[in-house]
C-alpha cells in the first residue's frame, strides 16, 4: 500500500520530450526577488483539508525555484512546448544554461514525477497517443 502512495510516475523513454506541452498543476507566488515559490498543498485528502487546513498557519508548502526554474515555471502555461521553452532559456541565460535541452527535460521529469506539472498530450490515465507511460 505504501509503495503505491509514494510511487513516482515515469515517462516512456521513446517519447520525443521536446514535442510535449507542459502545464502547471499548482498555483505559485512571485517573491520580492522575482523568483517563484510553488504552493504545494500540505493535504490532498478532502477530510484532512477541511479539518486540519483551517488550523494551520499555511495550508501550503512553498517550493522555491531558482532563476532557471522560475522562468521555466512561468513559461509552462500549457501553450508552449518543451523545445520553445528551452529556446527561451537559451536566449535569456546563454551559456549558463547549457546543455539547455538536457537540463530542462531532467527538471520537467522531476516536476512530473512529483505531480507539480502534467502534459497536455497525456490523458488522465497516463496515456500518450494510446501508449501507457506510467510504470507498471
Q: Domain segments of the chain: what residues?
A: 2-130
pLDDT digits (tens, 9 = 90+) for 22-47: 999 999 999 999 999 999 887 666 66
The C-alpha atoms of residue 79 and residue 58 are separated, in whole angstroms, by 31
Res 132 pLDDT > 90: no
All cell numbers assigned to 42 = 500540505
Helix, strand, coil percent values for the chain (each to nearest 5): 40, 20, 40
Q: Which of 2, 1, 3, 12 is nearest to 135 (CA)?
A: 12
Identify the band that residue 17 occupies on the pLDDT scale cut at 50, 70 and 90.
Answer: confident
Residue 6 is predicted with a pLDDT of 44
Beta bridge partners of 128: 122, 131
pLDDT of residue 36: 95
Amino acid at each position: 500500500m505504501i509503495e503505491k502512495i509514494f510511487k513516482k510516475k515515469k515517462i516512456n523513454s521513446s517519447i520525443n520530450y521536446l514535442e510535449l506541452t507542459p502545464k502547471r498543476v499548482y498555483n505559485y507566488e512571485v517573491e520580492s526577488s522575482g523568483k517563484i515559490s510553488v504552493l504545494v498543498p500540505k493535504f490532498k485528502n478532502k477530510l484532512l483539508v477541511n479539518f486540519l487546513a483551517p488550523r494551520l498557519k499555511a495550508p501550503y508548502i512553498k517550493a522555491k525555484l531558482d532563476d532557471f526554474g522560475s522562468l521555466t515555471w512561468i513559461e509552462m502555461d500549457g501553450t508552449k512546448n518543451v523545445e520553445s521553452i528551452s529556446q527561451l532559456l537559451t536566449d535569456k541565460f546563454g551559456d549558463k544554461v547549457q546543455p539547455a535541452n538536457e537540463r530542462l527535460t531532467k527538471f520537467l521529469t522531476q516536476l512530473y514525477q512529483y505531480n507539480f506539472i502534467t502534459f497536455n498530450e497525456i490523458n488522465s490515465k497516463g496515456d500518450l497517443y494510446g501508449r501507457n507511460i506510467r510504470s507498471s
